[in-house]
Amino acid sequence: MPTCTPSTSPAQPAPATSPTPPTDPATPQLAIATHLLTLLRDTTTEPRPDTQLEALTLAVAADLPVLLWGEPGIGKTAALTQLAESLDLPLTTVIASVHEPSDFSGLPVVGDDPAEQGVPMAPPDWAVRLVRAGRGLLFLDELSTAPPAVQAALLRLVLERRIGTLRLPPGVRIVAAANPRSSAADGWELSPPLANRFVHLQWTHDHEVVVRGLGGTWPRATLPRLDPEKLPEAVEFARRAVCELLTARPALVHRLPSGETRRGGAWPSPRSWEMTLRLIAFATAAGSAREVLSLLARGTVGDGPGLELLAGIDRMDLPDPELLLADPTTADLPERGDLRQAALDGVVAAVRNRPDRSRWDAAWALLVRAMETGAPDLVVVPATTLASLRQEDWDVPESVERLAGAVRLSQRADREGTRTKAAAKATAGAAR
């Protein structure tokens, strides 16, 4: 149970000395108030696993525009401020809703001879500062309250990094924040062209993080470590994952949602699939958890296509059925139940495609190993299917007897469950 008490992180201790409080009775009250504010701002940070913060940091490292969606006061701005400090990037905040389209497309400046020299588009001062610094974090806040004309002007900034005639340097990263239309002041839905240029991350609060932060210790964003030796492998893996899915599901290459609200979020297009491929490569090279990859994939191409992609990646990690059949007694089966079930189904399918007595016996031995090392109910369906593949001259192996008990027990449980549901339904019907 977290407690709201100040604490110091061993990795980054609090400053050894604090400002000395004013003790002179003649000290003005405003000076005392300033000292109190200084003490309140005196906080520290600690390394702490945070799925959404890791997803944000990974997308920033991949140089992709990120859009944080969350209710007002959820901590989006604070997260961006802390991220900029952790990555040592100067933060530039621009409130999109209070700017005119010309602030992003450039202000026309008439020279001595417009007919010969044209009219250049001068960038705003914040863009000039970013170019001079050569690096930074550009934070576009309140994006969902920007009118359509401003959103249209932002397209070039987000995609091409251009403001007027000025181009932002590669060291500048772009992150935006928005409130859902239901909680935004005079909110607008994001236009589909602008929405499709972002990685959309749903930002929520963690109760324990908030309580510990109010006690003086906030989580620290750290850039995921990319393993140099894994870079070629990560690129190959990402390309294979995306291309295999789109080959099997060509309708997912481009699917513009029908509803206005969904068009303002993540949806699949060639552009967003390219972003997804990049994020998979970065997550793979960093060894990120599946939960982080799920946030990034669903935030780029949408929930449905993103989940299909994750399922395809899971299947890529499944062991080769032929290798399992070659040495079933020492086979290394997946730990996760759904992946283990898929691996066993793949083995039975391999035997069906090329039936052979020795392969059939090996499959039974593998099912026995699966029962001994995992949940017995996972072998019921594969065992039933495998039994149906038996040919007349094939003797039943002794290993089948070891599986028979688990199969009968599972079937009995299914029958009892069906009987219980039928009885409950009859009782409910009689009560009406």
Write out 177-205 in H/E/C secondary structure. EECCHHHCCCCCCCCHHHHCCCEEEECCC
Q: 361: domain range?
A: 321-427
Residue 401 lies in a domain: yes
Q: Does residue 155 sit in the same domain as residue 265?
A: no
Return all residues near 173 (Cβ < 8 A) that are at least 6 apart: 60, 63, 89, 136, 137, 138
- Kindly give the confidence (pLDDT) of every residue in the chain, 432 residues in length, as a single tens digit, with 9 standing for 90 and above: 444 544 444 444 444 455 666 777 777 888 889 989 999 888 888 887 888 888 999 999 999 999 999 888 887 888 888 788 878 899 999 988 888 888 787 777 766 666 666 667 778 888 889 999 999 999 998 888 888 888 888 888 888 888 877 899 999 999 999 888 666 556 678 889 999 999 999 988 888 888 888 888 887 767 788 899 999 999 999 999 999 899 988 999 999 998 888 888 999 999 999 999 999 999 999 999 999 999 999 999 999 999 999 988 888 878 888 888 988 888 888 888 878 888 888 889 889 999 988 998 898 888 888 888 888 778 888 888 888 888 888 887 776 766 766 555 445 544 555 565 665 666 666 655
- Is the same domain home to 68 and 191? yes
Residue 333 within a domain? yes
* CB proximity list for 269: less than 8 A, separation 6 or greater: 196, 253, 254, 255, 256
Strands 217-220 and 199-202: unpaired
Q: Which long-range contacts (CB under 8 A, 24 or more apart) does 405-408 make?
A: 406/371, 406/376, 406/377, 406/379, 406/380, 407/379, 407/380, 407/383
CB atoms within 10 A of CB 13: 9
First to last CA, the chain: 46
Residues 413, 331: one domain? yes
The 10s digit of each residue's pLDDT in 397-431 is 776 766 766 555 445 544 555 565 665 666 666 65
**Residue 37, token pair as written in the block:** 């504010």
Question: What's the token pair of residue 428?
Answer: 């409910």
Are 206 and 241 within one domain? no
Task: Classify residue 395 by its DSSP letter.
Answer: P
Q: Which of 56, 38, 40, 46 is nearest to 295 (CA)?
A: 56
Please tell me the pTM assigned to this model. 0.73
Position 10 in a domain: no
What stretches of 46-147 show up as alpha helix (H) in DSSP?
A: 51-61, 76-86, 102-105, 114-117, 125-133
In this structure, are 296 and 344 located in the same domain? no
Q: Does 59 share its domain with 151?
A: yes
- The residue among 151, 146, 149 whose CA lies nearest residue 196 is 151
CB 272 within 8 A of CB 196: yes
- Domains in the chain, number: 3
Widest pairwise Cα distance in the chain:
105
Q: What are phi and psi of 198, to 5 degrees?
A: -115, 155
**What span, in angstroms and rounded, lies between the C-alpha atoms of 169 and 63?**
12
Same domain, 273 and 331: no
Give Cα separations from 329 to 24, 131, 401 (angstroms).
81, 63, 17
- Per the domain annotation, does 26 fall within a domain? no
Could you tell me the CATH number of the domain that includes residue 204? 3.40.50.300
Please tell me whether residues 334 and 416 are part of one structural domain: yes
Residue with tokens 């001994």: 372
**Does residue 149 share a domain with residue 51?**
yes
The closest alpha carbon to 122, from 166, 168, 172, belongs to 166
Long-range contacts from 333-342, C-beta under 8 angstroms, 24+ separation: 333/369, 333/370, 333/373, 333/374, 335/374, 337/374, 337/375, 337/378, 338/314, 339/314, 340/370, 340/374, 340/378, 341/378, 341/381, 341/382, 342/314, 342/315, 342/318
| 154: helix, strand or coil | helix
Last residue of a domain, one of 316, 342, 365: 316
Tell me if 9 is assigned to some domain. no
* Residue 397 lies inside a defined structural domain of this protein: yes
- In-domain check, residue 75: yes
Domain boundary, last residue among 204, 220, 236: 220
Closest to 305 in 3D by CA, of 258, 259, 241? 241
8 part of a folded domain: no
> Half-sphere exposure of 91 toward its Cβ, with a 13 Å CA cutoff?
19
Of 316, 348, 380, the residue at which a domain comes to its end is: 316
Asked if residue 155 and residue 53 are part of one domain, the reply reads: yes
Q: What is the H or E stretch that residue 152 is in?
A: helix 148-160
> How many CA atoms lie less than 13 Å away from 355 in the CB half-sphere?
11
* Same domain, residue pair 282 and 344: no
SS3 172: strand
| Tens-digit pLDDT profile for residues 192-233 | 999 999 999 998 888 888 888 888 888 776 778 889 999 999
Instruction: Say whether both 67 and 213 belong to one domain.
Output: yes
- Return the percent helix, strand and coil in the chain, to nearest 5: 55, 10, 35
User: C-alpha 185: how far from its chain's center?
Assistant: 27
Helix locations, 17-120, DSSP H: 29-41, 51-61, 76-86, 102-105, 114-117
